[in-house]
Chains A and B, each alone.
Chain A
């Protein structure tokens, strides 16, 4: 697979692996294409995402995008986080092999699910 250095680096040493105890939002999604699973945990304070962690069963691209996504959402308000597209995640990593773009969609969906969970819990 033609992964760039940034992707490999993220994948080799992800910074945001794990779970957040008492997370404010949890998103768990599966990838219908290859059968992978991602779990995203967010901690929210004053409508701002202050921490994010993930657990992913998936390929190099899935792990790299999960980790990048966590960094991207930290410090963002819920509204700002909602605007993140899967292309933004790909851009953050430079490029992904075309066949691997769907793995970044998994990240986007996990974020949606986590935010929804947060909003449900809040109301």
Chain B
């Protein structure tokens, strides 16, 4: 049996998405900047996709910019603001952001910016009161992710953005993991990053929401595409596919995924000893279960699951290029050896209960074997 439980990494494309994209590749393949009818038709497709996006997010069409990834959207948000408002040299973010935000902030730090990296509690939530105290007149932007990609924590960004608005500080959120899954009211949010491939859209397409009135400077220069904010011939099929993917998850499907997730968590907690769930039970992404299996190392667990056709990911130090435990697991205070045995299971609408049962059976067997092999596992257990 093949079971894909790594939907936090990327997802299978939806058939409807592919169909719409195929039409663009084969028929509407013009360059939206061309003057002839093929070009004009391609431009119409991009406009239509933008309109779908705007309707979905209840914003206006000029407020969305298409880019080539969620990472690029994050880079453009932070760097673009820093270039447009150079007098403000302080940024607040959190310790559990995606590397696209963290590395961008570190870049600015090397150029004289002061960055405050907010701590999170053991569930991955930031302290909103603390944030309020840290806002300054020279704070350029607060960037806090909506849903965390590793442990699934959903931060209350509506409250956070409200506080920022009151203090006249821009608020950006990386909503890559939550788009299409968690209701989002962009009311006080100034910028938000999105990516298509996490919601059954194509890879290599992202979008940045920029509230009207906010100046931003481009980081990729060239032709004047995307109102001069992002040069490069538009990825027309990708953009159209992204718009289609927005509605790839119905309420009902989200409900079903949530049920699968809860069924999985409940059974694992009950049937395998000495495990725990990372992140909160309630404020949690509908498709994420991050579980630490004590006394075993995650890379080994991952490979055993892989041999059984099950795809997951891990926060183990051994599996990272830097041999360091994931920064998110460190930030929530997991002990090194426990973080080591942490596996992320991320579900999608394509998963079935039968698959989940198979995964649980496999896990039980593998964890038992690895524990037998582990010098950390207390005997007599």
Binding site for B on A (CB under 8 A): 1, 3, 8, 11-12, 14, 17-18, 28, 33-39, 55-60, 62-63, 99, 102-103
Contact = CB atoms under 8 A, between A and B. Distances in A.
B374 A57 contact: yes
A103 B319 CA distance: 12
B270 to A, nearest CB: 25
Interface stretch (B178-186, B198-206, B257-265, B300-308): B300-308
A14 B373 CA distance: 10
Given A59-B319, A62-B318, A28 B375 contact: yes
B336 A1 contact: no
Query: Per DSSP, are chain A's interface residues mostly helix, strand or loop, or mixed?
Result: mixed
A55 B323 contact: no
Contacts of B300: 11, 58-60, 63
Q: Which of B316, B317, B373 has the most CB of A within 10 A?
A: B373
Interface residues of B, number: 23
B303 A60 contact: yes
8 contacts: A1-B299, A34-B318, A55-B373, A55-B374, A56-B373, A57-B296, A57-B373, A63-B373
B321 A57 contact: no
Interface of B: 295-297, 299-300, 303-304, 307, 316-319, 321, 323-324, 336-337, 340, 372-376
B297 A17 contact: no
Contacts of B316: 59
B261 to A, nearest CB: 28
Q: Which of B324, B337, B374 has the most CB of A within 10 A?
A: B374
Contacts of A11: 300, 303
A39 B375 contact: yes
B318 A57 contact: no
Nearest to A100: B318
B374 A59 contact: no
B295 A57 contact: yes
- Considering the complex of A and B, which 5 residue pairs feature the smallest CB-CB distances, nearest first? A59-B318, A39-B375, A59-B299, A34-B317, A55-B375
Contact of B297 (A3, A28, A39, A58): A58
Contacts of B304: 12
A57 B376 CA distance: 7
Given A3-B303, A59-B297, 4 more contacts: A12-B307, A57-B295, A57-B337, A63-B373
B303 A35 contact: no
A64 to B, nearest CB: 10
A14 to B, nearest CB: 7
Q: Which of A58, A99, A103 has the most CB of B within 10 A?
A: A58
Contacts of A14: 373
B297 A57 contact: yes
Given A11-B300, A57-B337, A37 B376 contact: yes
A27 to B, nearest CB: 11
Nearest to A39: B375
Contacts of A55: 373-375
Q: Which of A38, A56, A59 has the most CB of B within 10 A?
A: A59
B314 to A, nearest CB: 10
Contacts of A62: 297, 318
B375 A56 contact: yes
A84 B295 CA distance: 29
Contacts of B374: 55-57
Q: Which of B304, B317, B321, B375 has the most CB of A within 10 A?
A: B375
Contact of B340 (A35, A38, A102, A103): A35
Nearest to B323: A34
Nearest to B302: A60
Contacts of B336: 35
Contacts of A35: 317, 336-337, 340
Nearest to A7: B303
A38 B303 contact: no
A18 B379 CA distance: 12
Contacts of A17: 372-373
